[in-house]
Structure 1
Amino acid sequence: MNIGVLALQGAFIEHEKVLDKLGVDYTELRQKSDLDTKLDGIILPGGESTVQGKLLRELDMFENIKEQIEDGLPVLATCAGMILLAKDIEDDDTKHLSTLPITVKRNAYGRQLGSFYTESDYEGLGEIPMTFIRAPFVAEAKPEVDVTAVVNDNIVGVEYKNQIAISFHPELDESTKIHERFLKMCESPTVAQA
């Protein structure tokens, strides 16, 4: 198995450490040619969604990644990654990959000082640690989207077809349950590969 980790900006190294811990191979996605590699899944890390979206376009990686996700390539999107996948961003006309039928609220908890840690229930995984850093949350999810985690009455985890999107940073906590769930999705023979 080979997981593509978007490595343009943000917390990609922390995701790679989790994959190392789980014994999974990965390819850093830094330029268009990296997308020629056979991928079983892709991780969109936290960071600055505006910067990541801009770099994806400038490096001519945007359409390829969007098409692979739309064709069924499993994706795990954390924090800024969730914003990249969202169809809509509240109070912002910016469009990124737009593969996930949700509306997100950026920096929903305020700036760095609004960061926090909690433990809460994630559908199918039980209680897991959740670290939020300048996190978004889902302001609205279409009926076909499965809500997997809610903290303080805000949706912080969703799953839709081949996409897992969460507001928090599982790569910063000891639990590997989110990554394991994603890797199971990557192993599924029913998922269409690009």
Structure 2
Amino acid sequence: MKIGVLALQGAVAEHLSMMERAGAEAVPVKRTDELADLDGLIIPGGESTTIGKLIRTYGFTEPLRSFSQERRPIFGTCAGLIILAKEIAGQADTHLGLMDIRAARNAFGRQRESFETDLAVKGIDDPIRAVFIRAPLIEQVGEGVEVLATHREDIVAAREEHLLAASFHPELTEDHRLHVYFADMVRQYRA
């Protein structure tokens, strides 16, 4: 099982390490041709406007949409969630527009309002540690989207078939269970 981490900006090394711990071969992805032999892909946190611009600059938009059309799993964390969203609150444009969610950018405030908390996630036995840094939230989900986690009534993790999104940074903790969850999604795709 080979999982890529889109290596244009953000916490790439941390996601690579977590996926290795989750039992996958993990590789950084800097060129579109590297998508061909992947079973799954992570779009990491960072700055969504910058990542979106780099996706367009390096010609990733259509290859990533094709990757998703093939039902290959994609996991977006923090800014990656915004990249996946079909709608972004207060913006006319989206990035990839793949997941039937409306994302709100910086919903938990600025950098100084960043926080950590224990979070119950559907499908994972015990709460996981979640790191929120200028995090988005999911304001609305479409019919086929399953809410996996909430924080104070706000949706912070969701899944739609082969797409997984989290408002927080699971890669910045010692807990790799959300990466194991994603690896299981990839195994199901391969089967």
TM-score range, shorter chain: over 0.9
CA RMSD of aligned residues (A): 1.3
- CA–CA separation in structure 2 for the residues paired with 1:24 and 1:142: 30
Extract unaligned runs of 5+ from structure 2.
none
The one-letter code sitting in structure 1 at the alignment partner of 2:131 is T
TM-score scaled by structure 2?
0.95
- Structure 1 CA distance for aligned equivalents of residues 161 and 177 of structure 2: 19
Aligned to 2:8: 8
Give the residue type in structure 2 aligned to 1:131.
V
Q: Which amino acid in the other structure matches residue 21 of structure 1?
A: R
CA deviations on 1:70-118 (whole Å, 9 max, x unpaired) are 2201011100000000000001112111110010100001110111000
Matched residues in 1 for 2:39 and 2:190: separation?
Answer: 12
Q: Which residue is 2:118 aligned to?
A: 119
| Cα-to-partner distance string for 1:50-85 (whole Å, 9 max, x where unaligned) | 111111111111110111112201011100000000
User: Cα distance, 1:31 vs. partner?
Assistant: 1.7
* Mapped partners of 1:169, 1:8: distance in 2: 17
Query: Structure 2 CA distance, aligned partners of 1:33 and 1:74?
Result: 17
Give me the TM-score of the superposition, normalised by structure 1: 0.94
For residues 33-66 of structure 1, give each alpha carbon's deviation from its aligned partner in whole angstroms, at most 9, with x where no partner exists: 3223x11100000001111111111111111011
Do the aligned partners of residues 9 and 40 (structure 1) sit closer, same or farther apart at CA in structure 2, a change above 3 Å counting? same
Are 1:183 and 2:186 an aligned pair?
Answer: no
Which residue of structure 1 lines up, in the alignment, with residue 107 of structure 2?
108
Q: Residue 67 of structure 1 aligns with which residue?
A: 66
The corresponding residue for 2:24 is 24
- Quote the residue 1:58 is aligned against: 57
The gaps in structure 1 that reach 5 residues or longer are: none
Tell me how far apart the structure 2 counterparts of residues 21 and 64 of structure 1 sit (CA, whole Å). Answer: 27
Count of residue pairs brought into register by the alignment: 190
